[in-house]
Structure 1
Amino acid sequence: MTIEYEWRGDFDNASLDALHADGFGSPAAQTDWRARLERHSLGWVCAWEDGGLIGFVNVVWDGGAHAFVLDTVVARHRRSRGVGAALVTVAAKEARAAKCQWLHVDFEEHLRSFYVDACGFRETPAGLIAL
C-alpha cells in the first residue's frame, strides 16, 4: 500500500477525532479541528492510505521564525513503519518554506528516540509550567 503525505490536507473532523482516539488511547472528543487549525496553525500534515487518515501532525507558529510540532499521531496499526518521521519531515520542509528558522517540539521521555533519533531534533534546555 502506498502512503501519501499532504500539507494542509483536507480532512473531516470525525476522521481526525477517530485517529486521535486510536493514537492517544482516549475517547473521541468531537473537536472542531478544522476551526482550531485554521485559527492557530501554520499548517498540518495528513498521511493517507487507501483514502483513510492514518497519520497527522499539527504545525503551529508565532507568525515569524518559530514553528512548533504538536499532536503527532499515527494509527496504531501503522506504527513503527516510518509514518511519524515522514510526517515530521514534511512539516519541517513546509515550515522552512514559510521562512521559519526553528522547529520546536516538546515530548515525554518515552518519545525521545522518535524525536531525537528518527526525526533529527536535538535536545535543548527548556522550561514548562503546568497550568
Structure 2
Amino acid sequence: MTVDLRIRFAVDDAALSRLHADAFGGDRTPTPWKARLEQHSRSWVGAFVHDRLVGFVHAIWDGGTHAFLLDTAVAPDMRRQRIGTGLVTTLIDDLRELGLEWGHVDYEPHLHGFYRDACGFRPTDAGLLRLN
C-alpha cells in the first residue's frame, strides 16, 4: 500500500468531514473545512490511499513563530501503519520551511508515546478551560 502525503492539498469538505467523524465520532454533516483552513491554518497535510483521504492534520498559527497542531486524524481501518507519524512529521517539516520556530500540541495521556516518541514533541504542562 502506498500512502501519498499531500501538503496544502485541495480540500474536499465532504471527504474531510467524513474522515473527522470516523476518527472522532459525531455526525457527518459537511463542515466548511476548506474556508476554515484557508483563513486560520498555516499548513495542512492529507494522507491519501488510492485518492481516498485516510489521514489529516493541520496547524493554526499566531501570525508569528508559533503553530498549533489540531485535528490529527487517521481513518480507523488505516491505523497502526505509521500514517499519523507521517502526517505530523510532514507538517512539522513544512512549518520549519515556512519559517516557524515553535510547534505546540495538546493531547490526552494515552497519546503521549505517539507525540513524544514517534513525533519528537517534548511534554509540557498546559491548561484547558471549557468555555461553554
TM tier relative to shorter chain: over 0.9
Report what 1:41 is aligned to: 41
Displacement, 1:128? 2.2
Report what 1:62 is aligned to: 62
CA distance in 2, matches of 1:39, 1:2: 31
Displacement, 1:110? 1.6
CA distance in 1, matches of 2:69, 2:50: 25
Report what 1:105 is aligned to: 105
- 1:1-131 maps to which residues of 2 (within 5 A)? 1-131=1-131
**Which digits, 9 at most, give the CA deviation of each residue in 1:52-110, with x for residues without a partner?**
00000011111111011000000011101100010000110011011111100001112
Q: Moved runs in structure 1, 4+ residues, more than 6 A?
A: none
* Alignment TM-score, normalising by the size of structure 1: 0.96
Q: Which amino acid aligns with 2:104?
A: H
Does the CA contact (< 8 Å) of 2:11 and 2:33 recur in 1? no
CA distance in 2, matches of 1:29, 1:125: 34
RMSD of Structure 2 on Structure 1 (CA): 0.9
Does the CA contact (< 8 Å) of 2:88 and 2:119 recur in 1? yes
* Residue aligned with 1:69, SS: strand
* Alignment TM-score, normalising by the size of structure 2: 0.95
Q: Give the percent of matched residue pairs that are identical in Structure 1 and Structure 2.
A: 50
Q: Which amino acid aligns with 1:6?
A: R
Which runs of 5 or more residues in structure 1 are unaligned?
Answer: none
Q: How many residues align?
A: 131
Q: Which amino acid aligns with 1:98?
A: L
Q: Which amino acid aligns with 1:8?
A: R
Q: Relative to structure 1, is the Cα distance of residues 47 and 64 closer, same or farther in structure 2, using a 3 angstrom cutoff?
A: same
CA distance in 2, matches of 1:11, 1:36: 10
